[in-house]
Amino acid sequence: MTSISRPPRRSLLAAGAVGVLALAAAALLPSTNAMAATGCAVTYTTNSWQGGFTANITIQNLGDPVNAWTLGFTFPDAGQKVVQGWSATYQQSGKAVTAKNLDYNGSLATGASTTIGFNGSWTAANPSPTSFTLNGTTCTGGTTPPTSAPPTTAPPPTTPPPTTTPPPTGTTPAAINGQLRVCGVNLCNQYGKPIQLRGMSTHGLQWFANCYNDASLDALANDWQADLLRISMYVQEQGYETNPTGFTNQVNNLVDKATARGMYALIDFHTLTPGDPMYNLDRAKTFFAAVSARNAGKKNVIYEITNEPNGVSWSTIKNYAEQVIPVIRANHPDAVVLVGTRGWSSLGVSEGGNSDEVANNPVRASNIMYTFHFYAASHKDSYRNEVQRAASRIPLFVTEFGTVTYTGDGAVDTASSNAWLDLLDRLKISYANWTYSDANEGSAAFRPGTCAGGQYAGTANLTASGNYLRSRIRTPDNFPTS
């Protein structure tokens, strides 16, 4: 893990220098006609492929603090279109585009930055726009002098205030990466860098509660070096519907245990049978209202709103998502939300479709990713090819996979598991393995009886699947901080 250093003293001086400049500008203004200082700097970067692109835009406010902002720019080519944006509301008219802040990122202090982005399409060419405005002011990258008192000479170049997030104050995955955000098709950390989280999924909490305790989660965080705990709360099969308060509390307790160990906590509303998420819509709203309110202050919580929709259309899943996501956002606006896909979260493939149905009709919400599940002994090249194809267009998160067959049982398919995890590593797609439990089935990481015995660290009680996953997950993470 990286060692931690204090912020360089230079940046503190730079912040002080800007404060003095702002004061000087204010002193020049007539007091009866106080005028806000304005100014902004924008960086626009793209990743482009045939017909499509992702744009990431960092907006820095160099003027007085604002509570709301609208970014404006013009595409150079008439064939360039915004398709799906995040972290802002986009409108396009001809070549002209505006992006308005959302509730959570409207306030920008002097010197503060925010990052937004979108997926776009292009036809003839994809040149980047060269001029941007923020609340009507052209972003020149420097401070705009007050119009009432133009300086006779150009102001000296100023060092922009620091825009970087301070270095982390801990070495756990959550301390280093902080609040995550979807950036283009990736999951980015607090430094705006794409990362991959690797971890384990619980089994059904109604059956394996005795596997999730301080000792087992110490082993997961310290011995396995996992980044992520997926908390699988079944809704049916003696799950949530039988005792909403009890299961909600159990989930919250496990969120706390993951948090205490610096892991991300993925709250999985584990719908399975029936496959139509609408069957559980009211329960989902009640559950997510409760857990998002309870965990709103945490930066390490991710919400998975439906495990494996099946036997329903994508438009039904999308409709469900567009009703549940606002419930979460009302309490926990900046948390990443994950949406299951058609055919047991196969991007539609297991029901004869493909990821086009999602890419062409995305959920109308920002900061979301779509889930993909596989079982290595059952799902091979045709599924891998579709994931690879989809990964350049939509953000993916593998919230569940097995090394065995889709029944959850059988032998580890090492060749297919290697092919899958190598692909996910290369694409920086995060994953959680089914299961961190001692269930009597090939997908379980521990041998039956382990949880009663309480010895989790090391390899003595691992199954073949557990051994395989522990050795993959323990390898060093790549969490860039600059």
Q: Which position's Cβ is nearest ligand IDC? A: 408
Told to check if 431 binds ligand IDC by CB under 6 A, we report no
* Phi, psi torsion values for 18, nearest 5 degrees: -65, -40
- Angle of helix 281-294 relative to helix 244-260, nearest 10 degrees? 40
Told to check if 194 binds ligand IDC by CB under 6 A, we report no
Complex with ligand IDC: residue 294 or 308, whichever CB lies closer = 308
Q: Which residues contact 285 (CB under 8 A, 6 or more apart)?
A: 323, 324, 327
Told to check if 400 binds ligand IDC by CB under 6 A, we report yes
Q: Is 308 a catalytic residue?
A: yes
Which of the stretches 138-146, 295-303, 349-357, 400-408 binds ligand IDC when contact is defined by CB under 6 A? Answer: 400-408
Q: Is 386 a catalytic residue?
A: no
Asked if residues 314 and 348 have their Cβ atoms less than 8 Å apart, the reply is: yes
Q: How far is the CB of 236 from ligand IDC (least distance, A)?
A: 9
Q: CA nearest 295: which of 337, 252, 346?
A: 252
Binding mask 248-277 for ligand IDC (x = CB under 6 A): ------------------------x-----
Q: How many other C-beta atoms lie within 10 A of the C-beta of residue 408? A: 16
Binding mask 321-360 for ligand IDC (x = CB under 6 A): -----------------------x----------------
Told to check if 407 binds ligand IDC by CB under 6 A, we report yes
| Binding positions for ligand IDC, 172-191, rule CB under 6 A | none
Q: How many residues bind ligand IDC (CB under 6 A)?
A: 15
Complex with ligand IDC: residue 90 or 303, whichever CB lies closer = 303
Asked if residues 390 and 382 have their Cβ atoms less than 8 Å apart, the reply is: no
Q: How far is the CB of 441 from ligand IDC (least distance, A)?
A: 6
Q: Which residues contact 67 (CB under 8 A, 6 or more apart)?
A: 106, 107
Catalytic residue among 357, 386, 400, 441: 400
* Phi, psi torsion values for 271, nearest 5 degrees: -75, 145
Binding mask 116-145 for ligand IDC (x = CB under 6 A): ------------------------------
Binding mask 291-320 for ligand IDC (x = CB under 6 A): ----------------xx------------
Complex with ligand IDC: residue 227 or 304, whichever CB lies closer = 304
Told to check if 386 binds ligand IDC by CB under 6 A, we report no
Complex with ligand IDC: residue 122 or 434, whichever CB lies closer = 434
Q: How far is the CB of 384 from ligand IDC (least distance, A)?
A: 16
Count of residues in the chain: 482
Q: How far is the CB of 186 from ligand IDC (least distance, A)?
A: 24
> CA gyration radius for the chain?
24
Among 86, 375, 383, 436, binds ligand IDC (CB under 6 A): 375
Q: How far is the CB of 295 from ligand IDC (least distance, A)?
A: 23
Complex with ligand IDC: residue 163 or 273, whichever CB lies closer = 273
Told to check if 438 binds ligand IDC by CB under 6 A, we report no
Which of the stretches 172-180, 316-324, 390-398, 436-444 binds ligand IDC when contact is defined by CB under 6 A? Answer: 436-444
| Cis peptide bond N-terminal to 274, omega within 30 | yes
Told to check if 372 binds ligand IDC by CB under 6 A, we report no
Among 69, 429, 441, 445, binds ligand IDC (CB under 6 A): 441
Catalytic residue among 308, 357, 386, 441: 308
Task: Give the integer Cα–Cα distance in Å for 159 and 140.
Answer: 14
Task: Give the integer Cα–Cα distance in Å for 202 and 251.
Answer: 11
Complex with ligand IDC: residue 212 or 344, whichever CB lies closer = 344
Point out which residues bind ligand IDC (CB under 6 A): 237, 272, 307-308, 344, 373, 375, 400, 406-408, 434, 439, 441, 443
Active site residues per annotation: 308, 400
